[in-house]
Amino acid sequence: MIQPKKLSNGMRYHLVPFDGTQAVTVLVLTKVGSRQEPDSVWGGSHFIEHLMFKGTERRPNTIDISKTLDRYGAQYNAYTGKDLTGYYVKIDGERTGLAIDLLHDMLFHSHFDPVELDRERGVIIEEIKMYEENPIMHVEDLLEQAMFQGSTLGREIAGTPEMMRSMKREDLIRYRDAHYVPSEMVVVLAGKIPENAKELLEQTFGTVERDGAPVEPVPFVGTEERNVPRVKRQNKPLEQIQIALGFPTVGRAHKDSPAIEILANILGGAMSSRLFIEVRERRGLCYTVRADADAYDDVGAFVVRAGLDEARLDEAMKTILDELTKIKTEGVTDEELQYAKDNIDGSLKLQLENSSKQAEFIGRQELFLSRVKTPEEWMEDTQRVTKEDVLRVAEEILNFKKMSVSAIGPYETDESLLAHFPVIE
């Protein structure tokens, strides 16, 4: 287990040095996303992320910020999820102090200039349109709308064009000040870390005295069984439709998380997975098909997603649901189990060659979990999973009466889409 260090104001940080790189990644995570947003700032977490790049007192505009980093060939960006926001700079290790100083300046001294704020409204509205018009991306948003209907988990991260036009600056600043506080933030340095890293962090992030009042999200109440799946669709005249099936699972800290990851890997985690072989290789019904498992604090989502030939959707859906039924009734073989463990182990090792992935691996655990595991401990948990564990979680998760469906294709009604599915009994 890896213990966090703390700055004088209580902000947690991790230093993750490793050899073989000249780069360092400085990652700052804060535990706030669209899930925490009241109606008045729906989309506000994402809006704030954009505005952090628009100027501070010391760096008055976007160009001043970007030129500071571009000069040294740095990679930098930010992202917003439903329960976190992240900012990172990957740069020559000799410039670590610059990256730390800039991120601190952006996160705690951005001035949210009203002119820039209004200009950025239009940028985000175009971003919303871009996602809505990209079927591969948008089908996942639709699925979570169906799965988490009635919860803030089911809302679009970026909000709506109407919210972007009406959101008030003072509400955004109040929301930011409540959540961008030391107790809700984690800083991770990974890669070539200078000896004075702690001092650099104390001089910047350690000086933050903001005392906010973070809003805890309402827990997800669960999914009731029903004979007809929950459906969210977008009617578009496509020949290759995008479709996703979702099943609710457990939260990220649950003991069954490793078994669920293995279940997803065996079903659709690689080109040799069950779904890929049966749906694509043997029947030629799709270009892509995969299974993934992701989770929030209190609930997760097991997702099967595919890009399918609309003309053969009946056969494709029967084939996919047959494979899900088979794995929850017959389980998996010893060979499949070990194959999945080896795949997960190898993938993790490859990812962690990158300083950015190292920072994410540690930072997300620190932000959300009660303990931070080393990669070795993480894989030990995976290696302990048995065939019986996989069968049990498959039986519990792959409940067709709790299934949600999203699709983008030529379907004017929910009924016209569900007509391609076998009857749920």
Instruction: Report the catalytic residues.
Output: 49
Edge-to-edge, what's the strand order for the sheet holding 240-249? 230-235, 404-409, 240-249, 300-309, 286-295
Q: How far is C-alpha 205 from the chain's CA centre?
A: 25
> In this structure, what token pair is assigned to residue 341?
């463990």
351 SS3 class: helix
In the 8-state DSSP scheme, what is residue 372?
B
Apex 285 CA angle, 229 and 338, nearest 5: 80
Measure the CA–CA gap between 27 and 77, rounded to whole angstroms.
Answer: 10
Cα dihedral across residues 31, 33, 38, 41: positive or negative: positive
Closest C-alpha among 178, 182, 140 to residue 301: 140
> CB under 8 Å to 238, separation ≥6 — which residues?
135, 310, 408, 409, 410
> CB under 8 Å to 336, separation ≥6 — which residues?
266
Backbone angles phi and psi of 175, in degrees to 5: -65, -45
Please list the alpha-helical segments (H only) found in 205-333.
257-268, 274-275, 313-330
In the 8-state DSSP scheme, what is residue 168?
-
Measure the CA–CA gap between 24 and 379, rounded to whole angstroms.
Answer: 25
Burial class of 235 by CB neighbour count within 10 A (0 to 12, 13 to 18, 19+): middle
Measure the CA–CA gap between 184 and 186, rounded to whole angstroms.
Answer: 7
> In this structure, what token pair is assigned to residue 226?
């029903």
> In this structure, what token pair is assigned to residue 88?
């990172």
Q: Which amino acid is at 85?
A: T
Measure the CA–CA gap between 280 and 92, rounded to whole angstroms.
Answer: 43
Closest C-alpha among 370, 357, 374, 363 to residue 86: 363
Contact indicator for 28, 187 with CB cutoff of 8 Å: yes
Contact indicator for 355, 23 with CB cutoff of 8 Å: yes
